[in-house]
Amino acid sequence: MLNKEKINEIAKRYIEHLEGKMNIKLAIAQELTINKPYGNIYFWGAQDSKKHRLAGNGPFLVESEDGRVLRFGTADPTEYYITLYENGNWNPGSNDIWYPN
């Protein structure tokens, strides 16, 4: 089980990973983070939102069990994806999972 600091560190590393792929500076909206017993759900976007508009930047979950990152979609409200995950019905695609190691 990972502590809060380790979970936040993994979220930061994931954003850095995305920055490398997108070649723009990104930021986590810390004030929007949702803390759950099984991990944290983070919202993110371009650091300079006036210069860069992103599509498909849905929230992601960092699981406290092993640090696995699961990307949620953008087609439905975040609560929809949270409910699917909590009910054991979330089936992320291979592109929607990132391992921190």
Tokens of 84: 């699917």
8-59 per-position pLDDT tens digit = 999 999 999 998 888 889 999 999 999 999 999 999 988 776 565 654 578 9
Claim: this prediction has a pTM higher than 0.85: yes
Per-residue pLDDT, 21: 87
- pLDDT surpassing 80 at residue 87: yes
Segment 64-74, tens digit of pLDDT: 999 999 999 88
